[in-house]
A and B are shown apart, each in its own frame.
Chain A
Amino acid sequence: MIAVRDPALYAIIILSLRVSGIALLFSTLIGIPLGAALGLSRFVGRRVIIAMLYTGMGFPPVVVGLFVYLMLSRSGPLGQLESTLVPRLFTPAAMVVAQCIISFPLVAGFTMAAVMGVDPQLRRQVRALGATRWQTTLAVLMEARVGVIVSVIAGFGSIISEVGAVMLVGGNIEGRTRVLTTAIVLETRKGNFDLAMALGVILLALSFLTNVAMLYLQGRTFEE
């Protein structure tokens, strides 16, 4: 498959990156503002949300997969709606939903911790310089950028290597929902250990390259 540059392999790699990339994008869009809000604001119910977030950070992916499966199945509360806005089971969109639920608590939790680590006096100083509420939040996030980038990396790491949830909600259908992790499981079960190992190396390389790209985006922060 790898030696002959099988187009199916490229399709698997591209689908893996597409599903995890879209899931990470949504996780970041939800997780960073949520983490910033929890880190910077004090409101009723904050502790409960933080406790739920911490639980979500350690949630077994296969349980998330089961939950999404039950929600999206035809007899499930969302599946029954038959709305175009609700993804169908055994599609990449359903895999995105599952991966988003797995990764956004990590992004939000680590962002919250990073934001809380910034000197609280910075907010007062920035406000004294004329910052609006939004500009103040942005300044704090920029000061916490190392932690925020780590939160995104952690979110990505949790889903690119995840197998249980995507297997359940995607079904590992060849040409449609097969991603690297589910392909590795399949090839291992078939006894194709060499191919499974090769796919594993590709997965590791993708993960490494993505993380390097994120560090590059982060600029010189780690060199300080």
Chain B
Amino acid sequence: MSEHIYHLRNLTKVYDGRHVLHVEHLDIRQGEIFSVVGPSGAGKSTLLRLLNFLEAPSAGAVHFLDTEFSAAKSVGIPTRRRVTTVFQRPILLNRSVWDNVSYGLRLRGQRNASRLIEGTLDQVGLMDLAHQRARTLSGGEAQRVALARAMVLQPDALLLDEPTANLDPYNVGLIEDIVRALNREHGTTLVLVTHNVFQAKRLADRVALMLEGEMVEVADKETFFESPRDPRTAAFVRGEIVY
């Protein structure tokens, strides 16, 4: 099995003639927590959409394990179903918590997965609310439902797009614990996009800084925070505005 789950080569995304992303080269290792930090508008979310095959690259390619994804080559449903994303704002279906968590499984034709769903709801601490309507939940509970809905699919890669940006410290802590456990116990590769360097420091194995659609520096956590090569990384880590 390949050591890397993703290889990105000359990956470019252009919207209306504007280059929003250009990554010459990036490898993401299987089983790691890889965090992408950077200010708003740096292209982090665009990167995740490409990693989840939700949008086609304008040029270059995403290699996911043995599958290539490029402007000319789309990926099939079986490959798409090996990756999923938890977005910043939890978009829940107007149904019960249970129905939301089981939704992705039903898409895959798995209808007898009660134990798996119960176990996942337990992990996120929402078993008691299983039959409550999802839209009556608090922000933190809703995001945990969104996380459970993704976790229950047991993806090879889970992409997290600012998953705690709108949450209180208690829920931030809960979600960080859940994703850390997911990574350690199941070996799920996590790609965490965040503008919060402290969160990246708490969770990530490796960290990348993105500015204006480009990767400024990719390094293991210690190097990134203690002895970054690029002065912009050093400035970002210090909390200074870098553009």
Interface string of B96-125 (1 = CB under 8 A from A): 000000011001100000000000000000
A contact residues, range: 10 to 19
A residues near B (Cβ < 8 Å) are: 119, 121-122, 124-125, 127-132, 135, 139, 142-143, 224
A130 engages B108 (CB within 8 Å): yes
B104 engages A130 (CB within 8 Å): yes
A142 engages B52 (CB within 8 Å): no
- In the bound complex, residues from chain B placing their C-beta under 8 Å from that of A128 are 52, 54, 84-85, 87
- In the bound complex, residues from chain A placing their C-beta under 8 Å from that of B89 are 121
Interface centre among A119, A124, A128, A224 (most CB of B within 10 A): A128
In whole angstroms, what is the CA distance A122 to B52 when docked?
15
What secondary structure prevails in chain A residues at the interface with B?
helix
B81 engages A130 (CB within 8 Å): yes
CB distance from A131 to the nearest CB of B (A): 5
Which residue of A is nearest B78, CB measured?
A130
- In the bound complex, residues from chain A placing their C-beta under 8 Å from that of B84 are 128-130
> Could you list 13 examples of A-B contacts with CB < 8 Å?
A119-B91, A121-B87, A121-B91, A125-B87, A127-B54, A127-B80, A128-B54, A128-B85, A129-B153, A130-B80, A130-B81, A131-B107, A142-B93
- In the bound complex, residues from chain B placing their C-beta under 8 Å from that of A135 are 107
Which residue of B is nearest A146, CB measured?
B94
Interface string of B123-162 (1 = CB under 8 A from A): 0000000000100000000000000011001000000000
B77 engages A130 (CB within 8 Å): yes
Which residue of A is nearest B146, CB measured?
A125
CB distance from B194 to the nearest CB of A (A): 18
In whole angstroms, what is the CA distance A139 to B94 when docked?
10
A129 engages B103 (CB within 8 Å): yes
In whole angstroms, what is the CA distance A132 to B228 when docked?
43
Interface centre among A122, A125, A132 (most CB of B within 10 A): A125
